[in-house]
Amino acid sequence: MEVPPQKKRPWFWSWSIAAVIFRLVLVYFPSSLNLSSRPEVSTPVTSLRRLAEGYWLKQSSMSPYADFVTALLIRATGQNLQVAYGRSLELLGLSRVSENSEFLPSGDIAALLYLWNPFTIVTCVGSSTSPVENFFIVLSLYGACTRLVPLAAFGWVIASHLSLYPAVIVIPAVLLLGYGPDAPPRKYLLQSNDANFGDNLSSDSSSEHRGLKTPAVKPANFLWRPVVLFLSWASVWALYVVVLCWMSVKEYGGLWEMFKRTYGFIITVQDLSPNIGVLWYFFAEVFDFFRSFFLIVFHMNILVMILPLAIRLNHRPFFLAVVYIAISSMLKSYPSVSDSALYLSLLALFINELADIQFSFFLFCGYVGVSLLSPVMHNLWIWRGTGNANFYFATAMAYACFQIVLVVECVNAMLNHDRMIRKKLSTTKA
């Protein structure tokens, strides 16, 4: 059974327009806010002061960024995921379960959460380039979810070009194109078919009725054609970007110098300016002799989690992409609050599945506490001189711990939800 279409909610558009107006008011607010220099908002990778075009736009009193389109893509993606979830329940024979459950409009909730998240607002007002990266990440996932292959490939290539870390979402994108949107594990459908087959044998024992058995519904096979098209389009877009970059920087050292100053800058953590991550403090204290070793260790932390999570969550590729984004936000060289704003909003797309998440109030208080303490500790250290780097780094450590707990609990809640479906399936077929 498909999830019934939601009635038109004028409140969504009212709150969305209000979010845009609120941003415009803050953008033209007096510069006393000084958000563009905050380490929680602007990093060496996303600072407008290091981007010539954006800096020119800022000098022209124009904001080059808008989160509204990103929110609309999140909303459309949520609607697609909810419809796919309803169809999966229908194939499992759990139509009555879905009818008795109240499905919250996850797309609307996630979009409004992204628009009204304080992290998103301060990033937009602080003139960071992070919203552009977030837009292309969401664009890629939306294209993969709807199987618009050129759009998915374009979003993935540009997002990876801007920040390198979004390259890991190629695995969820391939799974989305191959299997389709998130659904309960495919083995549950096989179990449902086996149960239906047994019921048909017992009810149609006479030979004249055995030919009238209801055919079992087969789980969707992996489609290779959209995956091959995705890889082909990604190669085309990547080649196009490389050629444009070569034409732009051939007089300034060529492509090698560009990669060294961009991807090399991210990987080697050359700038140790304070931020809400943990790498800057660690590499400021570590001996140079061990620097290369620990660079490998820190970056491998992201890579070693890719395969196990992909194996366990291959039936929920979009949720897998959100988990990858959250892990990258914790372990990237130059994180900002915009990274958290993205994965927190995307997690809201699974508000129905993650309804029983543990420690939700604890995590909410933790995020609020860190958001308030981080600027205070930075002020005590940098401007008042009554603190030191340990004060600010303690908030960064707490922030990382809260993110780890959130990811673990979300994955656990999603797996528990799948187990609940299995129990209801066995109860229904009993």
pLDDT score of 198 more than 70: no
Of 377, 367, 370, 365, which is closest to residue 343 (Cα–Cα)?
367
pLDDT tens-digit profile of 75-91?
A: 999 989 888 887 877 77
Question: What pLDDT does 247 receive?
Answer: 87
pLDDT tens-digit profile of 132-187?
A: 899 999 999 999 999 999 999 999 999 999 889 999 999 999 999 998 887 777 66
pLDDT score of 106 more than 70: yes
pLDDT score of 195 more than 90: no
Which of 13-17, 51-55, 87-91, 297-301 tops mean pLDDT? 297-301
Question: What pLDDT does 211 receive?
Answer: 41
Residue 7 to residues 54, 331, 341, 352, Cα–Cα distance (Å): 40, 41, 27, 18
Residue with tokens 């602007």: 42
DSSP string, 178-247: HH-S--S-HHHHHHHHHHHHHHHHHH--STTTGGGPPPPPPPPPPPHHHHHHHHHHHHHHHHHHHHHHHH
Question: What pLDDT does 99 receive?
Answer: 52
pLDDT score of 215 more than 60: no
Mean pLDDT of all residues in 87-97: 70
Provide, rounded to the nearest whole percent, the portion of the chain with pLDDT above 90.
32
Instruction: Give 105's pLDDT tier (boundaries 50, 70, 90).
Output: confident
pLDDT tens-digit profile of 27-45?
A: 776 554 666 666 666 666 6
Mean pLDDT of all residues in 184-213: 50
pLDDT score of 307 more than 50: yes
pLDDT score of 248 more than 50: yes
Q: Of residues 52 and 382, which shows the higher confidence score?
A: 382
Q: Quote the tokens at residue 259.
A: 């990669």
DSSP string, 168-181: GGHHHHHHHHHH-S
Q: Of residues 249 and 426, which shows the higher confidence score?
A: 249
Separation between Cα atoms, residue 151 and residue 3, nearest integer Å:
26
Question: What pLDDT does 299 receive?
Answer: 87
Considering only 138-152, 181-195, 319-333, 382-396, which range has the smallest mean pLDDT?
A: 181-195
Mean pLDDT of all residues in 180-208: 56
Is 107 in contact with 78 (CB distance < 8 Å)?
Answer: yes
Is 293 in contact with 283 (CB distance < 8 Å)?
Answer: no
Instruction: Give 399's pLDDT tier (boundaries 50, 70, 90).
Output: very high
Chain center to CA of 224:
24
Distance from the first to the final alpha carbon of the chain: 21
pLDDT score of 285 more than 90: no
Question: What pLDDT does 375 receive?
Answer: 87
pTM of the model: 0.84
Question: What pLDDT does 413 receive?
Answer: 93
Mean pLDDT of all residues in 274-289: 86
Question: What pLDDT does 189 receive?
Answer: 63
Separation between Cα atoms, residue 368 and residue 370, nearest integer Å:
6
Mean pLDDT of all residues in 2-15: 61
Question: What pLDDT does 103 receive?
Answer: 66
Question: What pLDDT does 202 receive?
Answer: 42
Sign of CA dihedral 11, 12, 17, 23: positive
- The four Cα atoms 162, 239, 317, 403 give a dihedral, to 10 degrees, of -20
Separation between Cα atoms, residue 114 and residue 306, nearest integer Å:
26
DSSP string, 253-265: THHHHHHHHTHHH
Residue 126 to residues 16, 253, 423, Cα–Cα distance (Å): 20, 32, 48
Chain center to CA of 424:
30
Number of other CB atoms surrounding residue 29 within 10 Å: 11
Separation between Cα atoms, residue 30 and residue 79, nearest integer Å:
39
pLDDT tens-digit profile of 365-383?
A: 999 999 999 888 888 888 7
pLDDT score of 3 more than 50: no
pLDDT score of 309 more than 90: yes
Separation between Cα atoms, residue 124 and residue 35, nearest integer Å:
9
pLDDT score of 326 more than 90: yes
Residue with tokens 């090698």: 256
Separation between Cα atoms, residue 262 and residue 138, nearest integer Å:
22
Is 318 in contact with 81 (CB distance < 8 Å)?
Answer: yes
